[in-house]
Structure 1
């Protein structure tokens, strides 16, 4: 854990917020590059990226606040302290996807090609975000006897898990996301049809998340079936099924063109 990175004068710079910002900067550069490669309107895409960041951030924060509703009811001022950690990833797409679809239709951007340009950048931003989770002490793992386990003493960690070795689930997911990013870039260069990169992401990430969930120890994320199926695993299952169905539809659509 290293929640506080440094100070600028009297202003604290939190590691979580810094890594989120770094991930966003990297994502913007990647998306702009891929947008140009895809013959998309780079200026429109840049506008979309910045506005989607705000929409997705709000969605991710809202869902997190709902998971700790009683705490934030007693401490409403804490809702705004996003730089200290506290985002639920799936809450972001919940608002961002409808917004991106609306934006694409509004400005006549080809949605499949647009998705292929956006998702690699999103993957990198997410990977940096998970490193931020490690620094903040959230999204932690279950106890482990392995030597690579990490010790977290954050207030975000359940008391019974403090001071003992835990699975570094933040690192598991971050590493997997960086690998996924490399795979998406490779697919982008060799794609057989528009939308292949986007649909690969929406099938691959749910698998990554579901596996990582097996080692997560934070009960705040909730369960659909207590101790068996977490909320994130349930959402991952739905996302995978929908993405697979859309892939079948897209393959038929491409075949008929």
Structure 2
């Protein structure tokens, strides 16, 4: 017997509260909590993270939607009323990350906070939120891969509830949400294990390690998905962006190590001082 998980967590009168929203709310709380705990060690006030949250989350969602609409413009140009209908689905994580990054840079400039240090501090929380957020896709039975077989899923020794949820319309699909979540968890554990090692990370390099790790993971997972956004026919947008980000990260790492020579991460402080590039 196959049992699937309903996308609706509970109802409040006529209002249906979906698991996706619940999971995303928990993911945001987790991300902020992790940032606040680490921020105390770097002399960054908890209010800074809370204020950043108020701007980054809504603008991040807008950025994620705009990114999606741009690469699905053939459809939305004919259905303009659907552009704001985010409740019908259609956001892209890369768009949210890029919008969130822009908000953080402006925020740090206004608050006189070192941007690379802030990025390092919030990175593990962002990763944790992504890991958790993919389970919202799992419940919605979206962001999956190509059709597969029950035998293959069983060979992965997956729990029955995951296998059951991967049966959509009578067909089993690759659980790409799980692949991305799992490998990002490995990346998160590596960062948490290494980030407090002395003379290992310069400011900004924890964030760059995350970008490099996620770019590689997303490149391979994206190649398995059935809902990719495409550019010029056969080029998957997320794969192209993953390659670009990886190249940028490598170049930025070399440049900052050789030319900028920033402070060590563990020597970083968020105590208010006139803004500088490091």
Q: Normalising by structure 1, what TM-score?
A: 0.86
Q: Which portions of structure 1, spanning 4 or more consecutive aligned residues, are displaced by more than 6 angstroms?
A: none
SS of the residue aligned with 1:45?
helix
- In structure 2, the partner of 1:179 is 186
Structure with more relative contact order (C-alpha pairs < 8 Å, separation 6 or more): 2
Q: Is 1:41–2:45 an aligned residue pair?
A: yes
Q: Which one of the candidate residues 192, 196, 203 is aligned to 2:205? A: 196
Equivalent residues in 2 for 1:67-216 (5 A)? 67-69=71-73, 70=75, 73-74=78-79, 76=81, 79-82=84-87, 85-145=89-149, 146-148=152-154, 151-153=166-168, 162-190=169-197, 191-216=200-225
- In structure 2, the partner of 1:254 is 261
Q: CA deviation at 1:68?
A: 4.2
Q: Is 1:31–2:35 an aligned residue pair?
A: yes
Q: CA deviation at 1:71?
A: 5.6
Q: CA deviation at 1:181?
A: 1.7
Deviations 1:139-193 (A, max 9, x none): 111112313465354xxxxxxxx42111000111112222222222223222432
Tell whether the 8 Å contact from 1:209 to 1:233 is kept in structure 2 after alignment: yes
SS of the residue aligned with 1:92?
helix
Tell whether the 8 Å contact from 1:224 to 1:234 is kept in structure 2 after alignment: no
Q: Which one of the candidate residues 194, 217, 230 is aligned to 1:222? A: 230
Classify 1:217/1:256 alpha carbon distance in 2 versus 1 (closer, same or farther; 3 Å). closer
Choose 1 or 2 for highest CA Rg.
2
Stretches of structure 1 lacking an aligned partner (at least 5 in a row): 154-161
Q: CA deviation at 1:45?
A: 2.5
Q: Normalising by structure 2, what TM-score?
A: 0.80
Deviations 1:200-245 (A, max 9, x none): 01111000101111221224x224561xx41101000011111111
Classify 1:255/1:130 alpha carbon distance in 2 versus 1 (closer, same or farther; 3 Å). closer
Give me the whole-angstrom Cα distance separating, in 2, the residues matched to 1:205 and 1:224: 24
SS of the residue aligned with 1:79?
coil
SS of the residue aligned with 1:21?
helix
- In structure 2, the partner of 1:236 is 242
- In structure 1, the partner of 2:64 is 60
Coordinate RMSD, CA, aligned: 2.4
Give me the whole-angstrom Cα distance separating, in 1, the residues matched to 2:82 and 2:121: 37
Of Structure 1 and Structure 2, which has the larger fraction of its residues in helix?
1
**Number of residue-to-residue matches in the alignment:** 245
Give me the whole-angstrom Cα distance separating, in 1, the residues matched to 2:23 and 2:184: 15
Deviations 1:101-122 (A, max 9, x none): 1111111101121111111111
Give me the whole-angstrom Cα distance separating, in 2, the residues matched to 1:19 and 1:211: 25
Classify 1:254/1:75 alpha carbon distance in 2 versus 1 (closer, same or farther; 3 Å). closer
